[in-house]
Amino acid sequence: MGMAGQQTARTPSTLLDGSAPETVAAEAARRRTFAVISHPDAGKSTLTEALALHARVIEEAGATHGKSSRKATVSDWMQMEQDRGISISSAALQFSYRDTVVNLLDTPGHADFSEDTYRVLAAVDCAVMLVDAAKGLETQTLKLFDVCARRGLPVITVINKWDRPGKDALELMDEVQQRTGRVPVPLTWPVGLSGDFRGTLDPRTRTYTRYRRVAAGAALAEAEVLDPAQAAELEGAAWTEACETADLVAESNGAFEPGAFLAAEATPVLFAAAALNFGVGTLLDVLVDLAPPAGARPDAAGVPRPVDAPFSGFVFKLQAGMDRAHRDHVAFLRVCSGVFRRGTVLTHGATGKPFATKYAHQVFGRDRETVETAFPGDVVGLVNASALRAGDSVYTGTPVTFPPIPHFSPEHFQVARAVDAGRAKQFRRGITQLEHEGVIQVLRSEVRGDQAPVLAAVGPMQFEVVADRMAQEFGAQVRLEALPYTLARRVVAPDPGVLNQVPGVEVLWRSDGEAVAVLTDKWKLGRIPTYAPEASLEPIGGDAEETTPA
């Protein structure tokens, strides 16, 4: 870490891989890496697909008639996702728009998979907060926004589903400001009430973009830009009201200032209907024009590592089963500095051991292609890099360690056992793989043994994913038995075993050697000083608010 700090003093004229620093800096400036966050059912996967459609990397959107009958979206590749119409795993999509390379990280569409979303937020430079026009800011959205706020991420707010009945636009502006603390500054304003979405007013140019739905939303919407006089003649009272309300917001909140957005003090607001492709092209333009490019990222000591330093990156996600024909697993790597070149021998920060990057892919939903080079801001899928774990740093040349990705406090616990004792080997391999991916937390003890690990989850649907993948990918059906525990704490006492004497408390162990006490209810915490006065417990991750999703 000390050596990483020296990188800020001088930049070499040529990087270790022969690339010129100015080339790396220019390529980093072209990158926009962001995640979409929201409450379930706000339309994240639909927006992801609509953005890809507008960038002309797919020909037809699948979300044509709602979740019950829609085709599988490009970012929903797991069978459970396609069956249920929700996103369970995050997906990385890369495409070009204008002269910019867009790295879009979709996130799970259910609160039970908050951990995956938190990991994704560690890898992005900006977030798009998607808000349902009818429901406003919901619990999960606010929780994820808080994570963005702690990390200083700029946030673009998109009010989605304006084609359906919903709240008043002014009411939504007040809600955003009161509940996020950031000043909402509309870059577009709806013409027509929610449920009667005709188009958008640009408060800066006073132009009107009129939309017309095409092919039930499966194709790009037709957009016509009109001047104020044409808009007034065409829309009449609806245009007048849009102008008046937009002026009220501008008078109260001021004009858009890029500096306030990048400083996480203000949030630009756009109105859209992703299922109809209304307003989606504007979001792409805003991302290109206003979102921050890939920049220097702080290491674990808080020292920024310049983008033109030797190559470095960190793994934010592991995923298996994306290609069932080959049973591979992919480590998603965010490039932080330098140039990634396929075949380069990298150093694994956790072990100090080298490994080659022979199989490196860029992923577009279920499709993938070999990537030869990648620059800061890009996401690379390293195939079968089995030594890597979520949060691991990799580099060439100057060593660097990026901040770890924390564990989260689980609230649901079940014991897993193999249905067929003859499949014990497959059972152990599957549980270990899912643990490495971060699909589930796995806790063990000598009393329970390896054949009966305790699975710990933020939400109960994680257990369904475990059962499904164990059967489908590893050929080991599991039987899950619920335990009475409802919370967990990290044990920092010298002798964790003394806590096993406390009724309603059990001490288990993570694979990283951390002792974890699981408790039946919060009242047991109050009894620990009586039964085990020498014991000391801490929230998992060290920050109860950050590591306990809503």
What is the CATH number for 365? 3.40.50.300
From CA 59, how far away is CA 43, in angstroms rounded? 19
Q: Is 125 annotated as a binding residue?
A: no
Residues 364 and 341 in one domain: yes
Give yes or no for residue 532 having a pLDDT over 90: no
In-domain check, residue 139: yes
Average pLDDT for 200-213: 94
**For residue 324, what are the domain limits?**
2-24+297-395
Question: Does one domain contain both 117 and 203?
Answer: yes
pLDDT band at 390 (very low <50, low <70, confident <90, very high): confident
Q: How confident is the model at residue 478 (pLDDT cuts 50, 70, 90)?
A: very high
Residues 53 and 20 both lie in one domain = no
Establish whether 203 is an annotated binding residue: no
* pLDDT average, residue stretch 211-233: 86
Q: Does 504 lie in the same domain as 384?
A: no
pLDDT at 379: 92
pLDDT at 132 exceeding the cut of 50 = yes
Element (H, E) at 283: helix 280-290
Task: State the Cα–Cα distance between residues 548 and 409, nearest whole angstrom.
Answer: 5
Same domain, 8 and 102: no
Give, in degrees to the nearest 5, the angle at Cα 34 between 32 and 39.
160
pLDDT category, 496, cuts 50, 70, 90?
A: confident
Residue pair 43/33 in contact by the 8 Å Cβ criterion: no
pLDDT at 347: 94
Q: Identify the pLDDT of residue 67.
A: 40
Is the pLDDT confidence value at 157 over 90?
yes
Give the other-Cβ count within 10 Å of 3's Cβ.
12
Assigned domain for 407 exists: no
Q: Which residue has the higher pLDDT, 15 or 130?
A: 130
Residues 338 and 273 in one domain: no
Residue 80: name the closest of 481, 430, 473 by CA: 473
Kind of pairing between the strands at 189-191 and 183-186: unpaired
Total number of domains in the chain: 3
**Was 403 annotated as part of a binding site?**
no
Residue 387 half-sphere exposure, CB side, CA atoms within 13 Å?
14
Is 199 annotated to bind a ligand? Reply is no
- Same-domain status, 150 and 240: yes
48 — pLDDT class (breaks 50, 70, 90): confident
Domain identity same for 307 and 242: no
Helix axes 44-54, 280-290, angle to 10 degrees: 80
- Residues pairing with 211 in the sheet: 223
Burial 281-300 (b: 16+ CB within 10 A, else e): bbbbebbbebbbbbbbbebe
What confidence score (pLDDT) does residue 533 get?
85
Does a structural domain hold residue 498? yes
* Residue 537 dihedral angles phi and psi, to the nearest 5°: -120, 150
CB distance 358 to 86 below 8 Å: no
Per-residue model confidence (pLDDT) at position 334: 95
Read off the pTM. Answer: 0.80
pLDDT mean across residues, the chain = 84
Whether residue 450 is contained in a domain is answered as yes
125 located within any domain = yes
468 is in an annotated binding site: no
CB within 8 Å of 76: residues ≥ 6 apart: 45, 82, 86, 87, 91, 365
Shared domain check, 129 and 213: yes
Residue 547 domain flag: no
